[in-house]
Homo-oligomer: A and B are copies of this chain.
Protein backbone atom coordinates (compact mmCIF):
# COMPACT_ATOMS: atom_id res chain seq x y z
CA UNK A 1 0.00 0.00 0.00
CA UNK A 2 1.32 3.47 -0.81
CA UNK A 3 2.03 5.71 2.15
CA UNK A 4 -0.20 8.49 0.86
CA UNK A 5 -3.00 9.21 -1.54
CA UNK A 6 -1.20 12.05 -3.30
CA UNK A 7 2.23 13.65 -3.46
CA UNK A 8 2.30 17.20 -4.79
CA UNK A 9 5.55 18.48 -6.30
CA UNK A 10 5.93 22.20 -5.72
CA UNK A 11 4.49 24.47 -3.04
CA UNK A 12 3.53 27.37 -5.22
CA UNK A 13 -0.05 28.51 -5.62
CA UNK A 14 -0.87 25.56 -7.89
CA UNK A 15 0.54 22.84 -5.70
CA UNK A 16 -0.80 24.27 -2.46
CA UNK A 17 -4.25 24.79 -3.99
CA UNK A 18 -4.25 21.19 -5.16
CA UNK A 19 -3.22 19.94 -1.74
CA UNK A 20 -5.79 22.14 -0.01
CA UNK A 21 -8.59 20.73 -2.10
CA UNK A 22 -7.43 17.14 -1.69
CA UNK A 23 -7.09 17.47 2.07
CA UNK A 24 -10.55 18.99 2.28
CA UNK A 25 -11.81 15.88 0.48
CA UNK A 26 -10.14 13.64 3.04
CA UNK A 27 -7.07 12.60 1.07
CA UNK A 28 -3.66 12.07 2.63
CA UNK A 29 -1.21 14.41 1.00
CA UNK A 30 2.39 15.53 1.14
CA UNK A 31 3.72 18.60 -0.68
CA UNK A 32 7.41 18.42 -1.58
CA UNK A 33 9.00 21.81 -2.15
CA UNK A 34 12.59 22.25 -3.34
CA UNK A 35 13.07 25.64 -1.73
CA UNK A 36 13.18 26.55 1.92
CA UNK A 37 10.00 28.56 1.43
CA UNK A 38 6.59 28.18 -0.14
CA UNK A 39 5.12 30.50 -2.75
CA UNK A 40 6.98 29.63 -5.95
CA UNK A 41 6.88 32.63 -8.25
CA UNK A 42 5.42 34.76 -5.46
CA UNK A 43 8.00 35.80 -2.90
CA UNK A 44 8.10 38.43 -0.20
CA UNK A 45 10.99 40.78 0.38
CA UNK A 46 11.64 43.93 2.35
CA UNK A 47 13.13 47.30 1.71
CA UNK A 48 15.73 48.41 4.23
CA UNK A 49 13.06 50.38 6.11
CA UNK A 50 11.07 47.21 6.70
CA UNK A 51 8.36 47.88 4.13
CA UNK A 52 7.35 44.61 2.47
CA UNK A 53 7.65 44.35 -1.31
CA UNK A 54 6.61 41.63 -3.73
CA UNK A 55 9.58 40.09 -5.54
CA UNK A 56 7.37 37.98 -7.80
CA UNK A 57 3.75 37.99 -8.96
CA UNK A 58 1.93 40.74 -7.16
CA UNK A 59 -1.31 41.95 -8.75
CA UNK A 60 -4.82 40.59 -8.93
CA UNK A 61 -7.80 42.08 -10.69
CA UNK A 62 -11.37 41.70 -11.88
CA UNK A 63 -12.23 38.36 -13.41
CA UNK A 64 -9.66 36.61 -11.26
CA UNK A 65 -12.48 35.38 -9.09
CA UNK A 66 -10.75 32.30 -7.82
CA UNK A 67 -7.75 34.24 -6.56
CA UNK A 68 -9.93 36.97 -5.05
CA UNK A 69 -12.12 34.45 -3.25
CA UNK A 70 -9.14 32.53 -1.93
CA UNK A 71 -7.54 35.73 -0.65
CA UNK A 72 -10.75 36.54 1.24
CA UNK A 73 -11.14 32.97 2.47
CA UNK A 74 -7.63 33.10 3.93
CA UNK A 75 -8.39 36.34 5.78
CA UNK A 76 -6.11 38.46 3.65
CA UNK A 77 -6.96 41.88 2.35
CA UNK A 78 -6.50 43.62 -0.94
CA UNK A 79 -6.01 47.29 -1.65
CA UNK A 80 -6.03 49.23 -4.90
CA UNK A 81 -2.84 49.81 -6.81
CA UNK A 82 -2.17 53.56 -6.79
CA UNK A 83 -3.62 54.83 -10.06
CA UNK A 84 -4.30 58.53 -9.62
CA UNK A 85 -2.85 61.24 -11.79
CA UNK A 86 -1.07 61.20 -15.10
CA UNK A 87 0.62 58.16 -16.56
CA UNK A 88 3.74 58.47 -18.69
CA UNK A 89 4.84 57.16 -22.05
CA UNK A 90 8.40 57.65 -23.24
CA UNK A 91 9.06 57.51 -26.95
CA UNK A 92 11.86 58.92 -29.10
CA UNK A 93 13.20 60.85 -26.13
CA UNK A 94 9.89 62.57 -25.36
CA UNK A 95 8.35 62.09 -21.93
CA UNK A 96 4.60 62.23 -22.55
CA UNK A 97 2.00 62.48 -19.77
CA UNK A 98 -1.61 61.39 -20.24
CA UNK A 99 -4.77 60.78 -18.23
CA UNK A 100 -6.91 59.19 -20.93
CA UNK A 101 -6.70 56.09 -23.13
CA UNK A 102 -4.25 57.75 -25.51
CA UNK A 103 -1.01 56.47 -23.98
CA UNK A 104 0.11 60.03 -24.67
CA UNK A 105 0.69 59.10 -28.29
CA UNK A 106 -0.16 61.13 -31.39
CA UNK A 107 -3.58 60.43 -32.82
CA UNK A 108 -2.34 58.79 -36.00
CA UNK A 109 -0.21 56.27 -34.14
CA UNK A 110 -2.93 55.70 -31.60
CA UNK A 111 -5.53 54.96 -34.23
CA UNK A 112 -3.22 52.37 -35.75
CA UNK A 113 -2.48 50.84 -32.35
CA UNK A 114 -6.20 50.43 -31.66
CA UNK A 115 -6.81 49.04 -35.13
CA UNK A 116 -4.14 46.34 -34.62
CA UNK A 117 -5.44 45.79 -31.10
CA UNK A 118 -8.90 45.17 -32.50
CA UNK A 119 -7.56 42.68 -35.02
CA UNK A 120 -5.77 40.83 -32.26
CA UNK A 121 -8.89 40.70 -30.11
CA UNK A 122 -10.93 39.44 -33.03
CA UNK A 123 -8.42 36.68 -33.72
CA UNK A 124 -8.20 35.82 -30.02
CA UNK A 125 -11.97 35.40 -29.92
CA UNK A 126 -11.58 32.45 -32.30
CA UNK A 127 -9.28 30.54 -29.95
CA UNK A 128 -10.94 28.07 -27.56
CA UNK A 129 -9.01 28.24 -24.29
CA UNK A 130 -9.63 24.57 -23.49
CA UNK A 131 -7.94 23.52 -26.73
CA UNK A 132 -6.26 26.38 -28.60
CA UNK A 133 -4.88 23.87 -31.11
CA UNK A 134 -8.47 23.39 -32.26
CA UNK A 135 -8.96 27.04 -33.26
CA UNK A 136 -10.41 27.19 -36.78
CA UNK A 137 -7.17 28.60 -38.19
CA UNK A 138 -4.87 27.05 -35.59
CA UNK A 139 -2.22 25.77 -38.01
CA UNK A 140 -1.93 29.12 -39.72
CA UNK A 141 -1.93 31.09 -36.45
CA UNK A 142 0.70 28.84 -34.91
CA UNK A 143 2.90 28.90 -38.00
CA UNK A 144 3.55 32.62 -37.42
CA UNK A 145 5.56 34.29 -34.73
CA UNK A 146 3.74 37.26 -33.25
CA UNK A 147 6.51 39.40 -34.68
CA UNK A 148 5.89 38.16 -38.22
CA UNK A 149 2.15 38.77 -37.87
CA UNK A 150 2.78 42.22 -36.46
CA UNK A 151 5.24 43.20 -39.18
CA UNK A 152 2.77 42.06 -41.81
CA UNK A 153 -0.11 43.93 -40.22
CA UNK A 154 1.23 47.38 -39.55
CA UNK A 155 3.85 49.67 -41.00
CA UNK A 156 3.46 52.28 -38.26
CA UNK A 157 6.76 52.35 -36.40
CA UNK A 158 5.22 53.49 -33.12
CA UNK A 159 2.54 50.80 -33.30
CA UNK A 160 5.24 48.24 -34.03
CA UNK A 161 7.26 49.36 -31.05
CA UNK A 162 4.18 49.49 -28.85
CA UNK A 163 3.30 45.86 -29.50
CA UNK A 164 6.95 44.82 -29.44
CA UNK A 165 6.89 46.13 -25.87
CA UNK A 166 3.58 44.51 -24.93
CA UNK A 167 5.03 41.02 -25.38
CA UNK A 168 8.05 41.56 -23.10
CA UNK A 169 5.83 43.10 -20.45
CA UNK A 170 3.56 40.03 -20.52
CA UNK A 171 6.00 37.20 -21.37
CA UNK A 172 9.44 38.67 -20.60
CA UNK A 173 10.47 37.58 -24.07
CA UNK A 174 10.60 39.20 -27.49
CA UNK A 175 7.94 39.06 -30.21
CA UNK A 176 9.86 36.64 -32.49
CA UNK A 177 10.08 34.14 -29.64
CA UNK A 178 6.31 33.79 -29.30
CA UNK A 179 3.79 31.96 -31.45
CA UNK A 180 0.88 34.13 -32.56
CA UNK A 181 -1.47 31.35 -31.48
CA UNK A 182 0.03 31.20 -28.00
CA UNK A 183 -0.31 34.96 -27.66
CA UNK A 184 -3.93 34.85 -28.80
CA UNK A 185 -4.66 32.04 -26.35
CA UNK A 186 -3.11 34.08 -23.56
CA UNK A 187 -5.15 37.14 -24.49
CA UNK A 188 -8.34 35.10 -24.55
CA UNK A 189 -7.48 33.34 -21.28
CA UNK A 190 -7.08 36.73 -19.59
CA UNK A 191 -10.33 38.27 -20.85
CA UNK A 192 -8.71 40.39 -23.51
CA UNK A 193 -5.67 42.56 -23.98
CA UNK A 194 -7.22 45.56 -22.23
CA UNK A 195 -7.80 43.43 -19.19
CA UNK A 196 -4.19 42.22 -19.23
CA UNK A 197 -2.68 45.68 -19.62
CA UNK A 198 -4.88 47.87 -17.45
CA UNK A 199 -4.30 48.85 -13.86
CA UNK A 200 -7.76 49.89 -12.66
CA UNK A 201 -10.23 47.54 -14.30
CA UNK A 202 -7.47 45.13 -15.26
CA UNK A 203 -4.96 42.58 -14.05
CA UNK A 204 -2.94 45.15 -12.10
CA UNK A 205 -5.89 46.62 -10.17
CA UNK A 206 -5.31 45.21 -6.70
CA UNK A 207 -2.51 44.26 -4.37
CA UNK A 208 -2.51 42.07 -1.30
CA UNK A 209 -1.68 43.61 2.06
CA UNK A 210 1.70 42.24 3.12
CA UNK A 211 2.30 40.65 -0.27
CA UNK A 212 0.89 37.85 -2.40
CA UNK A 213 3.25 35.27 -0.94
CA UNK A 214 1.02 35.36 2.10
CA UNK A 215 -1.61 33.47 0.11
CA UNK A 216 0.75 30.52 -0.11
CA UNK A 217 1.95 30.95 3.45
CA UNK A 218 -1.60 30.84 4.79
CA UNK A 219 -2.40 27.74 2.76
CA UNK A 220 0.81 26.12 3.95
CA UNK A 221 -0.07 26.93 7.56
CA UNK A 222 -3.35 25.10 7.11
CA UNK A 223 -1.55 22.14 5.57
CA UNK A 224 0.91 22.06 8.47
CA UNK A 225 3.50 19.31 8.35
CA UNK A 226 2.10 18.02 5.10
CA UNK A 227 4.39 20.58 3.48
CA UNK A 228 8.01 19.45 3.37
CA UNK A 229 10.54 22.13 2.44
CA UNK A 230 14.02 21.52 1.03
CA UNK A 231 12.87 18.43 -0.85
CA UNK A 232 14.13 18.54 -4.43
CA UNK A 233 12.16 15.96 -6.40
CA UNK A 234 14.39 14.12 -8.89
CA UNK A 235 12.52 10.92 -9.78
CA UNK A 236 8.93 9.78 -10.21
CA UNK A 237 8.76 6.03 -10.68
CA UNK A 238 5.65 4.02 -11.30
CA UNK A 239 4.96 1.28 -8.77
CA UNK A 240 2.37 -1.51 -8.86
CA UNK A 241 -0.16 0.71 -7.13
CA UNK A 242 1.01 4.26 -7.75
CA UNK A 243 4.26 6.14 -7.70
CA UNK A 244 7.45 6.45 -5.71
CA UNK A 245 8.66 10.02 -5.61
CA UNK A 246 12.39 10.33 -4.99
CA UNK A 247 13.83 13.54 -3.64
CA UNK A 248 17.02 14.96 -2.20
CA UNK A 249 18.01 17.97 -0.16
CA UNK A 250 19.10 21.31 -1.58
CA UNK A 251 22.78 20.28 -1.47
CA UNK A 252 22.06 16.89 -3.09
CA UNK A 253 23.68 15.26 -0.08
CA UNK A 254 20.87 13.06 1.21
CA UNK A 255 17.95 11.42 -0.51
CA UNK A 256 14.62 9.91 0.40
CA UNK A 257 11.42 8.72 -1.24
CA UNK A 258 7.72 8.64 -0.53
CA UNK A 259 5.03 6.52 -2.17
CA UNK A 260 1.54 7.60 -3.15
CA UNK A 261 -1.32 6.56 -5.36
CA UNK A 262 -0.87 9.62 -7.55
CA UNK A 263 1.34 12.62 -7.98
CA UNK A 264 0.63 16.18 -9.09
CA UNK A 265 3.61 17.91 -10.65
CA UNK A 266 2.93 21.59 -9.99
CA UNK A 267 6.09 23.24 -11.26
CA UNK A 268 6.79 25.00 -14.59
CA UNK A 269 6.94 22.71 -17.65
CA UNK A 270 10.68 23.07 -18.14
CA UNK A 271 11.39 22.06 -14.56
CA UNK A 272 8.87 19.23 -14.80
CA UNK A 273 10.92 17.93 -17.72
CA UNK A 274 14.01 17.73 -15.53
CA UNK A 275 12.49 15.15 -13.24
CA UNK A 276 13.31 11.58 -14.26
CA UNK A 277 10.20 9.50 -14.92
CA UNK A 278 10.16 5.72 -14.85
CA UNK A 279 8.82 4.57 -17.21
CA UNK A 280 9.84 7.48 -19.44
CA UNK A 281 7.09 9.92 -20.41
CA UNK A 282 5.46 9.74 -23.83
CA UNK A 283 7.46 11.53 -26.51
CA UNK A 284 4.92 14.32 -26.99
CA UNK A 285 4.92 15.26 -23.31
CA UNK A 286 8.70 15.19 -23.22
CA UNK A 287 8.94 17.27 -26.39
CA UNK A 288 6.67 19.89 -24.85
CA UNK A 289 8.99 20.27 -21.88
CA UNK A 290 11.94 20.65 -24.27
CA UNK A 291 10.45 23.85 -25.72
CA UNK A 292 8.49 25.75 -23.09
CA UNK A 293 11.13 28.26 -21.98
CA UNK A 294 10.41 30.74 -19.22
CA UNK A 295 10.78 34.47 -19.62
CA UNK A 296 13.72 36.63 -18.63
CA UNK A 297 13.01 39.37 -16.11
CA UNK A 298 14.69 41.30 -13.36
CA UNK A 299 12.28 43.00 -11.02
CA UNK A 300 13.31 46.07 -9.04
CA UNK A 301 11.82 47.87 -6.07
CA UNK A 302 13.20 51.34 -5.56
CA UNK A 303 12.48 53.01 -2.24
CA UNK A 304 12.14 56.78 -1.60
CA UNK A 305 11.26 58.70 1.57
CA UNK A 306 7.95 59.75 -0.03
CA UNK A 307 6.00 58.97 -3.20
CA UNK A 308 7.10 62.35 -4.51
CA UNK A 309 5.71 61.74 -8.01
CA UNK A 310 2.19 61.81 -6.59
CA UNK A 311 2.48 65.45 -5.57
CA UNK A 312 3.62 66.19 -9.11
CA UNK A 313 0.33 64.74 -10.36
CA UNK A 314 1.86 61.52 -11.61
CA UNK A 315 0.47 58.03 -11.04
CA UNK A 316 3.89 56.44 -11.24
CA UNK A 317 2.95 54.30 -14.24
CA UNK A 318 5.55 54.60 -16.99
CA UNK A 319 5.77 52.70 -20.24
CA UNK A 320 8.89 53.40 -22.25
CA UNK A 321 9.44 52.47 -25.87
CA UNK A 322 13.02 53.72 -25.51
CA UNK A 323 14.44 52.20 -22.34
CA UNK A 324 15.55 48.87 -20.90
CA UNK A 325 13.81 49.65 -17.61
CA UNK A 326 10.60 49.96 -19.56
CA UNK A 327 7.67 49.44 -17.20
CA UNK A 328 7.39 51.19 -13.85
CA UNK A 329 4.50 51.50 -11.39
CA UNK A 330 3.82 52.98 -8.00
CA UNK A 331 4.23 50.23 -5.43
CA UNK A 332 4.18 52.25 -2.24
CA UNK A 333 2.64 50.68 0.84
CA UNK A 334 -1.07 51.37 1.46
CA UNK A 335 -0.31 54.06 4.04
CA UNK A 336 2.29 55.72 1.76
CA UNK A 337 4.73 55.70 4.65
CA UNK A 338 7.40 55.77 2.01
CA UNK A 339 7.46 55.85 -1.79
CA UNK A 340 8.19 52.71 -3.77
CA UNK A 341 8.52 52.39 -7.52
CA UNK A 342 8.43 48.88 -8.91
CA UNK A 343 9.79 48.22 -12.38
CA UNK A 344 11.02 45.58 -14.75
CA UNK A 345 13.83 44.91 -17.15
CA UNK A 346 12.50 42.14 -19.34
CA UNK A 347 13.18 40.04 -22.42
CA UNK A 348 16.35 40.84 -24.35
CA UNK A 349 17.06 43.76 -22.01
CA UNK A 350 17.04 41.42 -19.03
CA UNK A 351 19.47 39.05 -20.69
CA UNK A 352 21.86 41.92 -21.28
CA UNK A 353 21.34 43.54 -17.87
CA UNK A 354 22.00 40.26 -16.07
CA UNK A 355 25.58 40.39 -17.37
CA UNK A 356 26.22 43.79 -15.77
CA UNK A 357 27.68 44.28 -12.31
CA UNK A 358 24.91 45.01 -9.85
CA UNK A 359 26.07 48.58 -9.36
CA UNK A 360 25.80 49.32 -13.08
CA UNK A 361 22.39 47.72 -13.22
CA UNK A 362 21.20 49.84 -10.32
CA UNK A 363 22.67 52.95 -11.91
CA UNK A 364 20.77 52.16 -15.10
CA UNK A 365 17.57 51.88 -13.08
CA UNK A 366 18.06 55.09 -11.16
CA UNK A 367 19.19 57.09 -14.21
CA UNK A 368 16.10 55.92 -16.03
CA UNK A 369 13.85 56.90 -13.11
CA UNK A 370 15.40 60.40 -13.13
CA UNK A 371 14.48 60.65 -16.79
CA UNK A 372 10.90 59.65 -15.97
CA UNK A 373 10.38 61.55 -12.72
CA UNK A 374 13.09 64.19 -12.44
CA UNK A 375 16.01 64.65 -10.08
CA UNK A 376 13.96 63.71 -7.01
CA UNK A 377 14.35 60.13 -8.21
CA UNK A 378 18.14 60.29 -8.02
CA UNK A 379 18.50 59.31 -4.37
CA UNK A 380 16.56 56.17 -3.44
CA UNK A 381 17.21 54.86 0.04
CA UNK A 382 17.23 51.26 -1.19
CA UNK A 383 16.98 49.09 -4.28
CA UNK A 384 15.89 45.46 -4.07
CA UNK A 385 16.20 43.30 -7.19
CA UNK A 386 15.15 39.79 -8.10
CA UNK A 387 16.41 37.96 -11.20
CA UNK A 388 14.07 35.01 -11.65
CA UNK A 389 16.14 33.36 -14.38
CA UNK A 390 18.96 32.88 -11.90
CA UNK A 391 16.73 30.93 -9.50
CA UNK A 392 17.45 27.21 -9.78
CA UNK A 393 13.89 26.29 -8.85
CA UNK A 394 12.11 28.74 -11.14
CA UNK A 395 14.47 29.54 -14.03
CA UNK A 396 12.43 32.39 -15.41
CA UNK A 397 9.27 34.45 -15.03
CA UNK A 398 6.55 35.33 -15.42
CA UNK A 399 5.98 32.05 -17.18
CA UNK A 400 6.60 29.85 -20.17
CA UNK A 401 5.99 30.69 -23.80
CA UNK A 402 5.77 28.59 -26.93
CA UNK A 403 7.58 29.44 -30.15
CA UNK A 404 5.93 29.06 -33.54
CA UNK A 405 4.62 25.59 -34.27
CA UNK A 406 4.78 24.08 -30.80
CA UNK A 407 1.27 24.67 -29.47
CA UNK A 408 -0.47 22.84 -32.32
CA UNK A 409 2.06 20.02 -32.20
CA UNK A 410 2.41 19.48 -28.47
CA UNK A 411 -0.15 21.62 -26.63
CA UNK A 412 -2.43 18.69 -25.93
CA UNK A 413 0.26 17.15 -23.71
CA UNK A 414 0.42 20.15 -21.39
CA UNK A 415 -2.24 19.12 -18.89
CA UNK A 416 -3.16 15.59 -19.96
CA UNK A 417 -2.38 13.14 -17.14
CA UNK A 418 0.09 10.34 -17.83
CA UNK A 419 -1.10 7.38 -15.79
CA UNK A 420 -0.78 8.43 -12.14
CA UNK A 421 1.04 11.67 -13.01
CA UNK A 422 -1.03 14.86 -13.15
CA UNK A 423 0.13 18.31 -14.18
CA UNK A 424 -0.59 21.70 -12.61
CA UNK A 425 0.97 25.15 -12.64
CA UNK A 426 0.09 28.52 -14.14
CA UNK A 427 1.11 27.41 -17.65
CA UNK A 428 -1.41 24.56 -17.57
CA UNK A 429 -4.34 26.84 -16.75
CA UNK A 430 -7.09 27.65 -19.20
CA UNK A 431 -8.63 30.75 -17.62
CA UNK A 432 -5.91 33.24 -16.64
CA UNK A 433 -3.10 31.13 -18.00
CA UNK A 434 0.17 32.41 -16.58
CA UNK A 435 -1.44 34.30 -13.69
CA UNK A 436 -1.79 33.53 -10.00
CA UNK A 437 -5.49 32.99 -10.56
CA UNK A 438 -4.69 30.45 -13.28
CA UNK A 439 -2.20 28.70 -11.02
CA UNK A 440 -4.84 28.24 -8.32
CA UNK A 441 -7.37 27.01 -10.89
CA UNK A 442 -4.83 24.55 -12.30
CA UNK A 443 -4.13 23.04 -8.90
CA UNK A 444 -7.82 22.59 -8.21
CA UNK A 445 -8.33 21.08 -11.66
CA UNK A 446 -5.56 18.53 -11.02
CA UNK A 447 -7.10 17.73 -7.63
CA UNK A 448 -10.45 17.25 -9.33
CA UNK A 449 -8.90 14.81 -11.79
CA UNK A 450 -7.77 12.70 -8.87
CA UNK A 451 -10.99 13.01 -6.90
CA UNK A 452 -12.93 11.96 -10.00
CA UNK A 453 -11.14 8.60 -10.05
CA UNK A 454 -11.57 8.15 -6.31
Contacts and interface: CB of A to CB of B under 8 A. Distances in A.
A268 to B, nearest CB: 9
Contacts of A276: 232, 234, 252, 274
Copies of this subunit: 2
Nearest to A387: B283
A76 interface: no
Nearest to A295: B287
A390 B246 CA distance: 23
B290 A176 contact: no
Contacts of A246: 252
Interface of A: 142-145, 147-148, 173-174, 176-177, 232, 234-235, 237, 246, 251-252, 255, 270, 273-274, 276, 278, 280, 282-284, 286-287, 290-294, 296, 348, 351, 354, 387, 389-390, 392, 395-396, 403-406, 409-410
A252 B234 CA distance: 10
B278 A395 contact: no
7 contacts: A143-B147, A174-B409, A273-B274, A287-B351, A290-B292, A290-B294, A403-B403
4 tightest A-B CB contacts, nearest first: A403-B403, A283-B389, A290-B293, A280-B392
B176 A405 contact: yes
Nearest to A351: B409
A269 B251 CA distance: 23
A273 B293 CA distance: 12
Given A176-B143, A274-B273, A293-B291, A351 B252 contact: no
A251 B278 contact: yes
Contacts of A144: 148, 176
A97 to B, nearest CB: 32
A286 B393 CA distance: 12
Nearest to A403: B403
A49 B396 CA distance: 52
A142 B177 CA distance: 10
Given A147-B404, A276-B232, A287-B396, A255 B255 contact: yes
Nearest to A389: B283
A354 B395 CA distance: 31
Given A144-B176, A274-B276, A284-B351, 11 more contacts: A143-B176, A145-B404, A174-B405, A176-B405, A252-B276, A280-B392, A283-B387, A287-B293, A287-B296, A287-B389, A403-B404
